[in-house]
Amino acid sequence: MRAVDIIARKRDGLALTDDEIRWFISSYTRGDVPDYQAAAFLMAVFLRGMSRQETVSLTLAMAHSGDVLDLSDITDYAVDKHSSGGVGDKTTLVVLPLVASCGVPVAKMSGRGLGFSGGTLDKLESIAGYNVNLSNEDFRRLARENGIVLSGQSHDLAPADGKLYALRDVTATVPSLPLIASSIMSKKIAAGANGIVLDVKVGRGAFMTDLDEARALAQIMVDIGQDAGRDMIAVLSDMNQPLGRAVGNALEVAEAIDTLNGGGPPDFREHCLELAGYMLRLYGRGQRWIDEGDIRQTLLKHLDSGTGLAKFRQLVTAQGGDVRLIDDPSLLPTASIVETYPAAQAGYIAQVAAEEIGMASFDLGAGREKKGDPVDLAVGLIVHVKVGDRVEPGTPLVTIHANDEQRLAACRARLDRAFAFSPTPVEPLPLFHGTIFGGRPTPE
Ligand code: URA
């Protein structure tokens, strides 16, 4: 086979065969196909699209370009979750221990933040000593011993995606549904999951700003998973305003701990209950955990009794983190300047623009511009209001945690653009915009 022929076929709008796609991806991963041909291939896919069958072939070729985790000695059914990324999304920190506390093993690899979108690994590193770089042996051992492990992604997992994603970034080929869907799903499949819950964010603070596009992406990912023999549930969740109140690494860890203690912001708590519930439902597959009321009662009990928090403590201990800060979150990294950003006028909150809040936190130093940049774990925002809330002049809208006056000024200017007020009542935003089921969990 020749790369140029495969590129030409896609350029002309023809469907590629499974063999062609597998050959192209494995040759590119080995370095036998150069970047310039892979770039042409990506642009042809971007312009011509891919059928469901081609997208499944591409996903599986990328998933098998490196190691594929086999977790069958740890659990006969592995559940995983993936979030497409948003502002204030610390869901994994709550959902993983919560699910594990129900006796369902979870072994998850997470990523770092980029731009204004946070990453679970950065948040975890707010916990002094927490080791996100585990060897394969330690990852498996901790999953087996504790039923929970949460680390960075192994370099050997879906290496084709790593190479292709970097190339897409510089060839204007990121926003392509088959390329995004195959990129996300290849990593999930390589990570050994049997059942996957996808949290597809939609709104101004998400990768996908349009509901129809987000739904199309969720559907493609569900289809891919189903064709690859996985059970799938995709949740479309709103990301027009931040999730919960905290935005910024250590602040989000504190909010996650509060939620695992039975507290936390109501929207975030509900979001966690929904996602954890779907993970349990996948795990049940018609056996245990099929009754939604039963699932919710169990999860509520585990939140309010501290059973989920005990699992989080076990996770942090096992990965070398300082557990004292779970009981005393004031030991988390703290910022030197803490000030309030008040409402300038009375009214109903009509907008808490998630992307502006995310950028305001980024301006403080909580995010990274490019891979490898350092992040300030202590800085960020606590957003006290949601769309629909009534405020008076001077009502605190945000508490800013900063370490630098110049950055603080940039943050304040950004916050001036984040809020809008209405003289008449405003409907609160929905938490979810729908759920897509694939594989066995399809409801009756
Ligand atoms: N996240 C990924 O992992 N890949 C994409 O292509 C987009 C978002």
Can you give the pLDDT at residue 444? Answer: 43
122 lies in the same domain as 185: yes
What is the domain count for the chain?
A: 3
How much distance in Å is there from the Cα of 157 to the middle of ligand 1?
14
Which helix (DSSP H) or strand (DSSP E) does residue 231 occupy?
strand 231-238
Instruction: Answer yes or no: are the C-beta atoms of 83 and 243 closer than 8 Å.
Output: no
Whether 72 is covered by a domain: the verdict is no
Specify the pTM. 0.93
- The domain spanning residue 171 has which CATH number? 3.40.1030.10
List active site positions: 82, 161, 168, 183, 187
Measured by CA distance, the residue closest to atom 2 of ligand 1 is 184
Ligand 1 pocket test: pick from 50, 121, 169, 183 the residue with the most ligand atoms within 8 Å of its Cβ: 183
Ligand 1 atom at minimal distance to the Cα of residue 165: 6
Q: Which domain, by its residues, includes 404?
A: 334-422
16 lies in the same domain as 165: no
- The domain spanning residue 361 has which CATH number? 3.90.1170.30
Whether 197 is covered by a domain: the verdict is yes
39 lies in the same domain as 178: no
Whether 70 is covered by a domain: the verdict is no
- Residue from 21, 65, 59, 95 nearest 225 by CA: 59
How much distance in Å is there from the Cα of 199 to the middle of ligand 1?
13
Give the CA distances from residue 157 to residues 62, 188, 190, in Å, rounded to whole numbers and listed in that order.
Answer: 9, 9, 6
Rounded CA separation 419/423 (Å): 14
Instruction: Answer yes or no: are the C-beta atoms of 28 and 20 closer than 8 Å.
Output: no
Mean pLDDT in order along the chain per 10 residues (444 residues): 98 98 98 97 98 96 94 92 94 98 93 79 95 92 96 87 90 92 94 94 94 96 94 97 97 98 97 96 71 89 96 98 95 98 98 97 90 90 98 98 97 98 98 88 46
How much distance in Å is there from the Cα of 189 to the middle of ligand 1?
14
Q: What is the CB-side half-sphere exposure of residue 133 using CA atoms within 13 A? A: 2
Span between the terminal Cα atoms of the chain, in Å: 46
224 lies in the same domain as 368: no
Ligand 1 contacts CB of residue 183 (under 6 A): yes
Ligand 1 contacts CB of residue 184 (under 6 A): yes
- The radius of gyration of the chain's CA atoms, rounded to the nearest angstrom, is 22
Can you give the pLDDT at residue 443? Answer: 47
Tokens of 154: 């192994």
321 lies in the same domain as 237: yes
- Residue from 92, 432, 4 nearest 237 by CA: 432
323 lies in the same domain as 357: no
388 lies in the same domain as 249: no
248 lies in the same domain as 171: yes
Measured by CA distance, the residue closest to atom 8 of ligand 1 is 180
**Residue burial 104-140, b: 16+ Cβ < 10 Å; e: rest:** bbbbbbbbbbbebbbbbbbbbbbbeebebebeeeebb
Rounded CA separation 336/398 (Å): 16
Rounded CA separation 391/257 (Å): 28
How much distance in Å is there from the Cα of 213 to the middle of ligand 1?
15
47 lies in the same domain as 182: no
25 lies in the same domain as 86: no
Can you give the pLDDT at residue 136? Answer: 87
